[in-house]
Structure formats: structure tokens, C-alpha cells
Amino acid sequence: MALWQMALLALVVAWILQSAGVWLQMRHYQNTFGALRTQWSDGVLGAGAAPGRLGKGVIVLIVVDSQRVVRRLCMMQGRSVFSKFRERHDFDGLEIAEVKSAVAAPAFERGVGVAISKAIEQIEKVTASREASEAAA
């Protein structure tokens, strides 16, 4: 077998392995998202992401209750498809305003702060939309 054929075969195998890894990671994301929606069906769920260029990428899922208090914050951080969601209990029980001020601090990791901020923006949009529809009804 020629060298170019072996290189092409290696490229195809790497592509197949990457596709399988992405599929597994998306399944894990969907399972975690579904579990949070089921467990906290009366709250609002927001998702935020901060893709990493050379560093680690971050995906954050936040669930808040009707008083905008964080019930659960799950974070997936890493460079590979083997990253898993981990719960961050240090944010449980904090109000959204407190979380915003915590992630705005200079010592806070930038990618995580961006992902959390995007999830909070999404929560605020959903909450404002719900309040507007309730006011109209």
C-alpha cells in the first residue's frame, strides 16, 4: 500500500473516531439538558457557551426558580469530546445578580464567565418574555 493511501486511510479513521466522539458528547448534553428540565420543570433553564480557540471551551447550563435564585449550575469544560458536565454547587442558592457580580470579577476565569453570562442573558430573555405574555393575558 502506498504512503498516500495509508495517510488517507488514517485520515478517514480519525474522522470516524471524531464523529463518534461528537455524537457521544451531544448525547451526554441532551441527557443532561433533559434531566435538568425534568427535575426543575417549574424553573427557567438557560444555556451558554464560550468556544475555546486554543484554550478550553465551556458550556454552562443554569436553572433558576421564579425568584431568580440559582437552583443548579452544570458546566462542561475541556478541549476534547470526552468532557462531561460537572455540577458547580458554589453557585447554588445565589441570586442571578450575585452570580453576575461574581463572574465579572477580574480573578474569575474568562471562558467560564462568558458562558455563565450568556446563560443568564438567555434566562432573562425567557423571563421577560413570560412576564410580558402574562401581563397581556
Distance CA 119, CA 50 (A): 10
pTM exceeds cut of 0.75:
yes
Q: How confident is the model at residue 80 (pLDDT cuts 50, 70, 90)?
A: confident
Other C-beta atoms closer than 10 Å to the C-beta of 50 total 21
Q: What local confidence, expressed as pLDDT, does residue 119 receive?
A: 93
Residue 135 predicted with pLDDT over 70: yes
Q: How confident is the model at residue 104 (pLDDT cuts 50, 70, 90)?
A: confident
Residue 99 predicted with pLDDT over 80: yes
Percent of the chain with pLDDT over 70: 99
Could you give the residue ranges of the DSSP H alpha helices within 40-109? 96-104
